[in-house]
Amino acid sequence: MASPSLLRFDPAGAFNPQHGLQAHDLAAFVPALERARHEMLQEDERLYESTILPKEKDPLDHGFFEMPEQLLKEQTEIQAIGKAAEKLKTQVDRVVVLGIGGSYMGAKALLDACRKPYFNELSRDVREGNPRIYFEGNNIDNDASQGLLRLLPSGFKPNAPESGWGIVVISKSGETIETAVAFRQYLAALTAACGGDLAKASQLIIPVTGKTGRLAKLSSEIGCKETFPVPDGVGGRFSILSAVGLVPAALMGINITELLQGAAAMNEHFRTAPPDKNVVLQYVGAAHLLETRRGANIRVLSVWSKALESAGLWYDQLLAESLGKRELGATPLTTVNTRDLHSRAQQHQEGKRDKVFTNVIVDKWSEPHLAVGSSKHDQDELNQIAKKTLPDLMSAAIQGTNEAYAEDSRPTMDLHLPKLDAHSLGQFFQMLMIATVVEGRLLGINPYGQPGVQKYKANMKRILGMK
């Protein structure tokens, strides 16, 4: 069997002398990219094993990088996650994932990208016994939470998983108020659905949390048997390939081994590929130079598949929290095309020249190609393209949009995913996490930690009168 293909990156659309780059710009930038790669692979790795960190490197959540290889080598956690997921699947047909930010965005991205469209609307047989997946604890929206609580079954019936539901709660400390409040409420509802039997309810809950903290303490108190770690040295937005993302992924029926293998393949590529062929370094180099030399400080991730919208939103958080410091860092923006061409294309085509467009293109669609079709009612004049398929139309839209931007010297770049599967998504997530760290090193910004986020949390607690 042939090895899975790697992602492909093509920056050609960013090369134009008036408002973009020239090919020699990237070539001249290679020494800086090599230094940033060396800093991540050598200096960060050495410091990560140290007990004393220089101020500019604290925190150093470098653990995400080698985690895929470590999990694949050890296998213990992968097997435990798989076993726990299979057990819960036999008991319930709905699972509520409680978490916020990096504690849920990766799982939502995996659900949308790797599972069939409208997954929750499909029958249990078509879902191959995998439960419906819902996300809460990512806001404090009263009506949304009430709506989901109303949707969940209120009473379990013996030997009828369709009548049961469970919880995956994800929080390293358990102190994030949105998730903590949601867990309190959904735990009460689950206990009530179990006839008031907390011991029974606790068997339908999988906490993913730190070794210590409020959630770890609560999970132990109520008797949760299956608990998985948020690893030390891995920040929330870099945690998608830990149990934070793997537990929900396993419940969705995604092959988590292939997901990790994709990430490991990207690691190897980043370590060994020369700069002119290195997907990570080429992407970082082009985006960084367009920002610093051309003022393109808005990064538009144009995903040409609805299935990748949540992946784009995951990247928005990754880039914004990692590099949005010291009045630096590009602003990320996800658009879904062709949908958003009808709301944003005017500005993108003729607005300020402060944007670079990265097209994320899926080379092989998952479903059979749907033809336009012939009709005796040809008032829409579509019979002339009756034999064309939706993928044909999408390819024409991508080409046409790139041509329009090129005619006006608007820089574009193309990132190709071989297909929407676990291996490709593992590569995609790992590539963007590595790229974010590399660019942080180029900017002299610590890409880890999010001190700005802590300020709203502290103010919120003060206003609520919490300790």
Q: Which of 352, 364, 369, 457 is catalytic?
A: 457
Spatial separation of the C-alpha atoms in residues 343 and 320, rounded to whole Å: 23
For residue 369, indicate whether it is catalytic. Answer: no
For residue 321, indicate whether it is catalytic. Answer: yes
Tokens representing residue 289 in the block: 């130079």
Q: Which of 55, 128, 327, 342 is catalytic?
A: 342
> Phi-psi category of 149—alpha, beta or left, where left has phi over 0 and alpha has psi -120 to 50?
alpha
Tokens representing residue 152 in the block: 């969940």
| Amino acid in the structure at residue 76 | T
For residue 457, indicate whether it is catalytic. Answer: yes
Spatial separation of the C-alpha atoms in residues 280 and 415, rounded to whole Å: 11
Spatial separation of the C-alpha atoms in residues 420 and 80, rounded to whole Å: 26
Name the DSSP class of 382: -
Spatial separation of the C-alpha atoms in residues 92 and 90, rounded to whole Å: 6
Tokens representing residue 261 in the block: 């293998």
Q: Which of 39, 136, 178, 321 is catalytic?
A: 321
Question: What residues form DSSP beta bridges with 275?
Answer: none
Spatial separation of the C-alpha atoms in residues 13 and 371, rounded to whole Å: 30
Tokens representing residue 277 in the block: 């062929």
CA distances from 81 to 86, 207, 217 (A): 9, 12, 21
Active-site positions read 321, 342, 457
